[in-house]
Structure 1
Amino acid sequence: MPPAALFAAATLTPALLLAAGGTLGGAWLIAAALTLTVFSALIDQALRRLGARPTPTAAPGAWADTLSATLALSHFALLALGIAAVTGATGLASWERVLAFFAFGLFMGQVSNSNAHELIHRSTRPLRALGRWVYISLLFGHHASAHPKVHHRYVATPDDPNSARLNESYYRFALRAWLGSFRAGLAAEREKLARGGKPRWQNPYIEYIAGAAALLALSTLAFGPAGLAAHIGLAAYATAQLLMSDYVQHYGLSRARLPNGKYEPVSDAHSWNAPHVFSSLMMLHAPRHSDHHAHPSTPYPALTLPPPAPMLPGPLPSMATLALMPRLWKRVMNPRVARLHASAPNPSAAAAPSGQIARA
């Protein structure tokens, strides 16, 4: 099957199921939720046991941008439908409304977030704007500034709020990363404006905040206070998954400080990756994280899995679930960080900023 068909099937199938589930409920919503959770995990493990290799690198072509634009536009429609479904405006039963919250939130957290991340790295303004507005709709617009200007520059250092420290729980990390990325991105944008001698009103944070406020107002006008609550809830759930991806993909990894005071260059060793087939397709190769940090502008079909890069023991969504249980997470991941630490040419390159490795 051509790469275009594989990516389209993995990403658009849950979107179509949600489109049906938001109005019809029942089996459609159940199918959407299972596709994004149980089915994804089972097919990943089944394909791995059958010896299936990760999808090969493919030339992106125009289809990659077309799929990303389609997913972004679908996101806005699904967000509106999700808010309507959760508030009961589409006539769903109480249990269906609860299921709709989790199913729509999972799609936005795993697919919409991954796609928006891809779009903000594109070179064309319309595509970047689409990605930016996906984040704005999820009340996380500052990520469009903080991610390329802070995270990519300072990843795996104490200066990056989105790099998880060794022994830091996800819950502690999430609050630090949200607030820290907002402040760091704002500082980066102010510095950029000052360097270029541009007025403060050109700061994109105005767009992020005003855009989010306008969309929340629309949700309130359309569905009342319940619509406002549903929008905030879905955005918070999706954003929590984005922060979880950052947590899992950089946990315990750090760059060494060189004698000149600078940090060593970013390498394959500074991101965790996952070779699992289905979840990687569904998340537009986001689990191929080392190559993304090495080549941020590379379109998702062309990302590779460098052989020496650290590999997660399970698919990214499964590891995200494990991270919700800090003790089990440390038991699984800390020994792996320790082995990277021991095998690194410069041990401090794999050491975590928080210090000693906890015993499993």
Structure 2
Amino acid sequence: MGFFKKLGFFSAFVFPALVVGGYYLGGWWNYMALAHAFVILPVIDQLLGIDKSNVPEDKVKEVSAEYFYRFVTFIWTYVQVAFVIWGCYVIAMGQWSGWYELIGFTLGFAVVTGGIGITVAHELGHKKEAIERFYSKVLLMTVSYMHFYIEYNKGHHVHVATMGDPATSRKNESFYAFWVRSVFLGYAHAWKIENNRLKRKGKSAFSLSNNMIWFAILPILFAGVMTAILSYFSGTIEWGVAVFFFAQSFFAFTLLELVNYVEHYGIQRKEVSPGRFERVTPIHSWNASHLVSNFFLFQLQRHSDHHANAIKRYQVLDHYDESPQLPAGYSTMIIIAMIPPLWFVMMNKRLEKWHGEHEVSLA
């Protein structure tokens, strides 16, 4: 991978800089991150187009082993933790002209912690190295969505593109109906997976070995500690810190669920026998190989290859022409997904074409 392409993955750090800059500039500048994500980036994506190039097969092992790519994700982890602490600080100690500033600040904040932070957590959570899995959990703690570590790896990747996966959106299902199912059933399924793990080890679900208990406690503990510290220095109880922390978490994981909705809309695997499905291949997720947004999202949009080969590192994910292709990058598609009639008009014909080509009946 060329030098400039490697540096492209540092472009994700533009977003926290926009949020910080927007806060200190004040007023409507607090919407800079939102404008960049959902106006400027889609335009640049359309202008610069799609990158179908893949790392040559004989170079994949070498590029996969390059520490540079892990270094970028490690640095992001530290930046995000510092960013969340700073966000809590300015909520408690800063000056705000009105609610419009707080709304812009919080939504822009969630673009960073959810749009990019959960993407990095998703990447790290698949890896074998303990430090990478630890960093994944730290990032998910900052958005109060730690169960994702269990549900995504042991639930979603197993059941993707089947009716048994809460995070696979159905044809003609609005994003809002999908959100309810994915959030609540995904959380319940993570508990089931963890309880079964403990049962196999002969341990109680109510023991401290239950990761789901820790995953519930740690974000609350973090918010409580930040509130206590900042309240001490301000001389008054800063309830706004906890409200902000959980508000940005809500918008962050909602952004994640928007991405899930877009990535898997209506795709289904063939059932080869009762309860058994064909293996996951690059045709079982929507793909978007737009050059610029894939830098920001660590090639998450090459989602087809990720599901087919979950252990591959982001820098060597391949584009497949046979994968179902989204008409635009995620930034554009998630805005459209929030307008169900427009989404259905744009996507249903593409979905029906895919199902016809692969002889899978629409449920």
Distance in 1 of aligned mates of 2:150 and 2:8: 31
Which residue matches 2:235?
none
| Matched ranges for 1:1-360 at <5 A | 1-8=3-10, 10-25=11-26, 29-48=30-49, 53-54=51-52, 56-57=54-55, 59-60=63-64, 61-85=66-90, 87=91, 89-94=93-98, 95-200=100-205, 201=207, 202-221=209-228, 222=230, 224-259=238-273, 261-344=275-358, 346-348=359-361, 351=362, 355=363
Contact 1:75 1:134 in 2 (8 A): yes
* CA drift at 1:30: 4.6
Q: What's the RMSD between the two structures over aligned residues?
A: 1.9
Contact 1:23 1:90 in 2 (8 A): no
Structure 1, gaps ≥5 residues long: 356-360
Contact 2:92 2:241 in 1 (8 A): no
Distance in 2 of aligned mates of 1:165 and 1:172: 10
Letter in 2 for 1:206: I
> Aligned pair count?
344
Other structure's SS at 1:40 match: helix
- Post-superposition Cα deviations, 1:67-92, rounded to whole Å, max 9, x if no partner, equal 1011111111112222344x362224
Contact 2:269 2:360 in 1 (8 A): no
Contact 1:272 1:312 in 2 (8 A): yes
Distance in 2 of aligned mates of 1:147 and 1:319: 22
Letter in 2 for 1:130: Y
- Post-superposition Cα deviations, 1:313-339, rounded to whole Å, max 9, x if no partner, equal 111111000010011100111111100
Which is further off, 213-222 or 90-99? 90-99
Other structure's SS at 1:258 match: strand
Percent of pairs identical after alignment? 26
Contact 1:23 1:92 in 2 (8 A): no
Letter in 2 for 1:3: K
Other structure's SS at 2:93 match: coil
**Superposition TM-score, scaled by structure 1 size:** 0.90
Distance in 2 of aligned mates of 1:22 and 1:117: 28
Distance in 1 of aligned mates of 2:113 and 2:155: 23
Other structure's SS at 1:297 match: coil
* CA drift at 1:26: 5.4
Letter in 1 for 2:360: P
Contact 1:268 1:291 in 2 (8 A): yes
- Post-superposition Cα deviations, 1:188-209, rounded to whole Å, max 9, x if no partner, equal 1111222233453212112101
* CA drift at 1:111: 0.7
Contact 1:7 1:282 in 2 (8 A): yes
Which residue matches 1:358?
none
Contact 1:36 1:107 in 2 (8 A): no
Distance in 2 of aligned mates of 1:347 and 1:30: 43
**Superposition TM-score, scaled by structure 2 size:** 0.89
Distance in 2 of aligned mates of 1:66 and 1:25: 33
Distance 1:103 1:260, change over 3 A: closer
Letter in 2 for 1:108: T
Which is further off, 236-245 or 23-32? 23-32
